Amino acid sequence: MGWLIFYLFLTTVPIDSFTHSYWGDKEIPIFLYFKFKKFPIALKIDWGDGKIESLEVKWIIYEAEHKYEKPGKYVIKVRIGSDYWLTTDTVTIFEELFIGKISFPAMIYGSCALDKEDIFYIGDIQGNFYAFDLFGQIKFNYFAGGEIYSSPLVVESLIYFGADSFLYCVNKKGRLVFKNKLSGKIYNTPSFLPPDKIVISADDGTLYFFALLGKKIKEVKFPSEVSDISIDEKNNLIFSCASVIYSLNSKGKINFKFSSLENDEFFPAPIVTKDYIVCGCEDGYLYFLDKKKGKLIKRILTFDEDAIKCEPVIDEEGKIYFGDEGGRLYLYDHKQLRALFETEDAINASPLVIKKDNEKIIFVVDESGYLYALTEKKLLFRLEIASSEKDLYQTPSFLFTKGKLIIPSWDGYLYAFNIGGELVKSEWYTYRANFSRSGKINK
| CATH number for the domain harbouring residue 406 | 2.130.10.10
- Does a structural domain hold residue 409? yes
Domain boundaries, position 380: 303-443
- Does a structural domain hold residue 52? yes
Within 10 Å of residue 296's Cβ, how many Cβ atoms? 14
Give me the chain's average pLDDT, please.
84
The single-letter DSSP state of residue 140 is: E
Between the alpha carbon of residue 9 and those of residues 30, 61, 64, 276, the distances in Å are 6, 6, 7, 49
Q: pTM score, two decimals?
A: 0.81
Secondary structure class of 17 (helix, strand, coil): helix
Contact 140, 131 (CB under 8 A): yes
Between the alpha carbon of residue 161 and those of residues 62, 153, 207, 413, 420, the distances in Å are 56, 6, 15, 19, 29
pLDDT at 123 over 60: yes
Q: Which of 57, 74, 93 is the last residue of a domain?
A: 93
- Does a structural domain hold residue 292? no
- Does a structural domain hold residue 170? no
- Does a structural domain hold residue 308? yes
Residue 387 and residue 408: Cα distance in Å, rounded? 12
The single-letter DSSP state of residue 15 is: G
Q: Which of 67, 93, 119 is the last residue of a domain?
A: 93
pLDDT at 83 over 80: no
What pLDDT score does 435 carry? 54
pLDDT at 119 over 80: yes
Q: What is the pLDDT of residues 359-388, one digit of tens each?
A: 999 999 998 888 899 999 888 888 878 766
- Give the CATH number of the domain where residue 11 resides: 2.60.40
What pLDDT score does 45 carry? 85
Average pLDDT over residues 411-416: 88
What pLDDT score does 26 carry? 42
- 15 phi and psi angles, rounded to 5 deg: -65, -25
What pLDDT score does 298 carry? 98
Average pLDDT over residues 272-299: 95
What is the count of structural domains for the chain? 2
- Does a structural domain hold residue 108? no
- Does a structural domain hold residue 69? yes
The single-letter DSSP state of residue 196 is: T
Secondary structure class of 16 (helix, strand, coil): helix
Contact 252, 243 (CB under 8 A): no
Q: Which of 53, 78, 93 is the last residue of a domain?
A: 93
- Does a structural domain hold residue 164? no
Residue 288 and residue 332: Cα distance in Å, rounded? 12
What pLDDT score does 33 carry? 53
